Amino acid sequence: MTGVTSEQLSALAAEFGTPLYVYDAAMMRERYRALAEACGDYPHDIHYAIKANATLAIVRLMRACGARADANSGGEIDVALRAGFAPHEIVFTGVGKSPDELERAITLGVKAINAESPGEVERIAAIAARHRDTVARVAIRINPDVDAESHPHISTGLRTNKFGMSIDAARALAVEIERYPSLRLVGLHVHIGSQITKTAPLTRAVTSLAALAKELIAAGVELEHLDIGGGLGIPYQAGQTVVSPREYIDAILPPVRETGLTLVLEPGRWIVGPAGALLTRVVDLKAQPPDPTGEPRWFVIADAGMTDLLRPALYSAWHDIAAVTPRPGPDRLCDIVGPVCETTDTLGSGRRLPPVEVGDLLIVRDAGAYGSVMASNYNRRTVPAEVLVDGAAAGAAGAATLIRRRQTIDDLLQWDV
């Protein structure tokens, strides 16, 4: 976050309580614009990956930027529609689409259903055939057996992963699709993983996809687009090497250009991740046994935990953590942990913080993607409020708007019978 000052963060925490998600709208616009400009004049569509952050105001902001939508569930399709996207601006992705989800996507007439298997294609064809004069637009999701070289839990392009199908299977399926009057094959899709920080895996995957596309075009298949998915990584740690938008497009565009097809991208994390932060207050401090060097070590217990930000517990993900208003004094070796009844409820281990006291405000940075959207109610904890700061300029605070109120226990218990 670049447009929100420490003073404003403190004021927001005082007004809305903690834990609290805060987003920088100007930064999201800037990052969307950088990615769009990197595409140049080549025909392209940027479909915001709603799974990264599905808060309605954020999805609306992406639409206002010019994005289209990438939905991974029926619920995300409904979020896209409520945010103002038309069905033809939505691609529907995801493993294990239910019959009801497929029925909705088909009858709405979404831009493409990214089909995961021959069986799913058969189900799409059967549903479409039940609706007279309906032709479902499908794209085949390819699994190119390419290692994204990120965390194994967010890799999706290896043959051992559950996503997509082999190129040989896709080639055969493309022939079958042409025989269904209720189907139209409009594209090919690939997504090899998330938090990708090298271009080579992307180039390998896209080259395979483009080669198949050229083969199908030569055989008379009238494809419209190549969907390259998302996965562009961000620097969670200082000094971490990542791929710029220009490097990203330079790595994937040459093979796509050879096909003449529209380029479709599905970014999420790269746009919203650095534009969000989680604010949390220190609720307790406990001394630990010294570390092996004899240095004192502390537990800093915060009011945010794995129910608010799951990534550190789920994949040992790193988020920079700092005091919003640092106190003077030498840094201390700390484990920043949450209040949840799990040992894995740790936001950061072995970190260095200035002296902190109960009541101090901490900021967990780069939490705009896969933060609030993965929150849970374990321990009957309520989901944090979310605030969008807009109009921030250098040295000036932008207007802050509550875009999602904090849950209450009454919200949770309304479903209990």
Poorest-pLDDT segment among 142-156, 210-224, 355-369, 395-409: 142-156
pLDDT score for 369: 98
Residue 334 annotated among the catalytic residues of the structure: no
Residue 406 to residue 129: CA distance in whole angstroms: 44
pLDDT of residue 163: 67
Cα separation values, 343 from 173, 187, 312, 335, 367, Å: 47, 45, 12, 12, 21
112-130 pLDDT, tens digit each: 999 999 999 999 999 999 9
Q: Is the pLDDT of residue 161 over 70?
A: no
Strands (E), 250-342: 262-265, 276-288, 297-302, 321-323, 332-337
Instruction: Spell out the domains of the chain, with CATH numbers in brackets.
Output: 25-270 (3.20.20.10), 276-413 (2.40.37.10)
Tell me which residue of 228, 232, 317, 315 sits closest to 269, measured CA to CA: 232
Give the 3-state secondary structure of residue 155. strand
Q: What is the pLDDT of residue 198?
A: 85
Least confident of 47-56, 194-203, 255-264, 271-280: 194-203
DSSP 117: S
Residue 6 has pLDDT above 60, yes or no: yes
Q: Which range has the worst mean pLDDT, 90-99, 286-295, 297-306, 360-369? A: 286-295
Question: What would the mean pLDDT of 11-28 be, rounded to a whole number?
Answer: 97
